Chains A and B, each alone.
Chain A
Amino acid sequence: MSEVYVEKITKVFPPRTVALDDVTLLFERSKTTCILGPSGCGKTTLLRIIAGLIKPTKGKVYIDGRDVTNLPANKRNVGMIFQFAVVYDSMTVYENLALPLKSANYSENEIKSRVKEVAETFGISHLLSQRPVGLNIGLRQRIALARAIVRSPKILLLDEPLTNLDPLSRIQLRYELKRLQSNWGQTIIYVTHDQSEALTLGDKIAVMNLGRVHQYGTPNEIYERPADTFCASFIGNPCMNLIEVAVEANDSNVYIVIDSDRIDVSEFREILKDRSKVIFGIRPEHVEVSKERRGVGWFKKRISVIETLGNTAVLNFEIGGTTFKVKTELIPGIKEGEEIWIHFKEDKIRFFDPVSKKLIS
């Protein structure tokens, strides 16, 4: 299987839209790498450059150490799947799957066995003799996926393949992809704006914004130690709470001031002592709540909105001029407009520089 290396890729769309700005990334062999970012961050452009569908303005693309920057798409042994499933309604599902094999001059027997195998993998064997007309979008995307891997490309590029599915099919197909990726062994590059897809499917994640890579690491690294406030606010369900706060220090203690509360953060003394302002960050799931005060470091806040999610809930507060979210188990009897005690788990607090927005560690 293949390794993909993109080196100092810049892409400018005339007159002066910089879609990619000096991007260097190594996509490891037989691993899944997710490129995660908001619409317009350049992720799809990067994928198309790897596929050979567009050329970079500057920089090089290597597959297994070989410079393929000027190689056309059909010579790269790359399979690609788009957000909108491309399926031919005039052919049966079997013919759809057989098409890439036919154009590559596979033998009739080889085609039969490969189509059969891949159809089984994607649970579409029962549809082979039908035409895809009228099939729901979840099934159509399965057919598109099956067709993309039927030639066993060494690299599989996926551009938001789950985005247009209804929520239930999305959860189902995400899980099937997760299950399948270990069996395929392909090098997969997966573009998405959905952080939950990236966290569950990626061995590694590249977080992008405005044409640049903000962080490249394992899901756990990115979740635990976001490199900057952009990554912190892009990952998480909901994302990390970020508040700019004043720092107050005396000889023995260091405090941050959030609204009218002073919170002792003396264990961060070393990184905070020379600062007057800092961005305080904590994830919604790392804030404890209680109807009673449970000790030092607890303070009282009014709940503005409750979003229930089955047996968990997201409580919204107005703190430090922002909407502050807390994810918790459903606490019986709490209501919007009421006050409740909250507490930050010390080991989960992160600080960011107010100017550079980078993680302070």
Chain B
Amino acid sequence: MKENNNSNYVELVNISKKVRDKVILDSISLSIEKSSLTVILGPPGAGKTTLLKIIAGLIKPDEGKVIIGGRDVTNLSPKERGISMVFQSFALYPNMKVYDNIAHPLKLMHLSKEEIDKRVKQVASFLRIDHLLDRNPGLLSGGEKQRVAIARALVKEPHVLLMDEPLTNLDAKIRMEMRAELKKMQREIGVTIIWATPDPQEALAMADKVALIRDGKILQYGGVNEVYEMPRNAWVGNYFGYLPMNLIDGTIIKEKDQLILQTEDFKINLNSKIVDKIGSDLPKDVILGLRPEDLKIFGISENDVIINGEIYVTEVIGSDTIVHVKTGRNIFKVFLPNIIYRETPFTPCKIGVNPSKTYLFDRRTGQLLWRGLK
């Protein structure tokens, strides 16, 4: 048996799963740290729920191993794994009071009445639902129901808490509030959380580490900032951000020793060092990636690359604005936090691009070639 190691507390080794002939998970390996919050992020159908169920022991993988705390649990039943799972649909017993819903897993463990009472009250006060213990779940709001479901999962004092889109069925407002609350809870009790969601903003706000998954494959796994700053390919860059990335087709060409990125609407001079990365085989088809939150309309600086366009539509959302700017064939999204900007369509407009905040992807493979233009 291996030593209990904090840096790979939950280890998935080459997990594969097929249902009939369809590949659901394709050789997934992940090492998850103890007491961290790891988000599995991907679109519907990517394999997130199947992966969580395999960790929980509800589904057996065709191949691969699940190791928790140094112990191979691949062939253990869910009960023997020290894991709790919270589902998108809450799944409370409607005919039991909140108290009994939370106490239920402890009764199955045959704990004493006093111990059960102590634990239920402790977890309820922690999640601020102590005033609801006498109620029936049917009368609770969505946020309250989800808190009860989490309390029921935590009361077993699991080592690992699996959460399958726990906020998806909640109203937008409660979803926002629960994020910080659950993150705080995780910090305080130090439980290891593996959290599946299709929502990139949720992943940005909550995760210590994020694993991007698509079609049953992990595309990238790393710290939130690391993946945000250095997406391995265009798909990851587009999916994992505050808003989807602006992706513009372009071609790198050489004009009198100067490397140039040529798009349909504009040209940008490139740093000659880029040749080391992309090779000298020119012209090369690329995709330019620009994050909406990295673009400027106000306060453009001297070093910025300028793209000319016209206003297409402005979306003011409270104190923030998303400006859609049309430049020939492309429409750029520009995110202006804490700025309210309303402007009529077709007004000429300049976008400022900070050269260090640009991404070049290979158009054929999608792989990141270069970060920063000049």
Q: Which residues of A contact B (CB under 8 A)?
A: 38-40, 166-168, 171-172, 174-175, 178-179, 193-196, 199-200, 219-220, 223, 233-239, 283, 285-286, 304-305, 307-312, 314, 316, 323, 325, 327, 329, 336
Contacts and interface: CB of A to CB of B under 8 A. Distances in A.
Given A166-B43, A175-B315, A305 B183 contact: yes
B117 interface: no
A258 to B, nearest CB: 19
Contact of B338 (A174, A236, A327, A336): A327
Interface in B217-247: 224-225, 228, 239, 241-244
Interface of B: 43-44, 141-142, 171-174, 176-177, 179-181, 183-184, 187, 198-201, 204-206, 224-225, 228, 239, 241-244, 291, 293-294, 312-313, 315-320, 322, 324, 333, 335, 337-338, 340
B293 A199 contact: no
A175 B333 CA distance: 10
A141 B316 CA distance: 24
A165 B187 CA distance: 31
Contacts of A314: 180, 205
B238 to A, nearest CB: 8
A310 B318 contact: no
Query: Which residue of B141, B177, B205, B317 has the most chain A CB atoms within 10 A of its CB atom?
Result: B317
Contacts of B171: 38-39, 193-194
Given A168-B244, A193-B171, A193-B173, 12 more contacts: A38-B174, A39-B171, A166-B198, A179-B324, A233-B173, A285-B338, A309-B204, A310-B243, A311-B337, A323-B180, A327-B337, A336-B187
B187 A305 contact: yes
Nearest to B240: A310
B205 A307 contact: yes
B173 A239 contact: yes
Given A193-B173, A196-B318, A39 B142 contact: yes
A179 B315 CA distance: 10
Contact of A175 (B180, B200, B324): B324
A307 B179 contact: yes
B293 A237 contact: no
Given A199-B316, A311-B294, A304 B337 contact: no
Nearest to A237: B318
A305 B184 contact: yes
Contacts of B183: 305, 307
A325 B173 CA distance: 14
A347 to B, nearest CB: 14
A178 B315 contact: yes
A172 to B, nearest CB: 8
8 contacts: A38-B173, A193-B173, A195-B318, A285-B318, A305-B184, A308-B205, A309-B204, A310-B335
B184 A196 contact: no
A285 B319 contact: yes
Nearest to A38: B171
A228 B160 CA distance: 42
Contacts of B313: 175, 178-179
A307 B293 contact: no
A310 B205 contact: no
A40 B200 CA distance: 27
Contact of A323 (B43, B181, B198, B335): B181
Nearest to A167: B199
Contacts of B200: 167-168
B244 A171 contact: yes
A237 B313 CA distance: 21
Query: Which residue of A195, A219, A286, A307 has the most chain B CB atoms within 10 A of its CB atom?
Result: A307
Given A167-B199, A325-B180, A308 B322 contact: no
Contacts of B337: 285, 311-312, 327, 329
A341 to B, nearest CB: 18
Given A305-B183, A308-B224, A283 B319 contact: yes
A257 B8 CA distance: 47
A261 to B, nearest CB: 22
A199 B244 CA distance: 20
A168 B239 contact: yes
Contacts of A286: 319
Given A167-B198, A175-B322, A305-B183, A237 B317 contact: yes
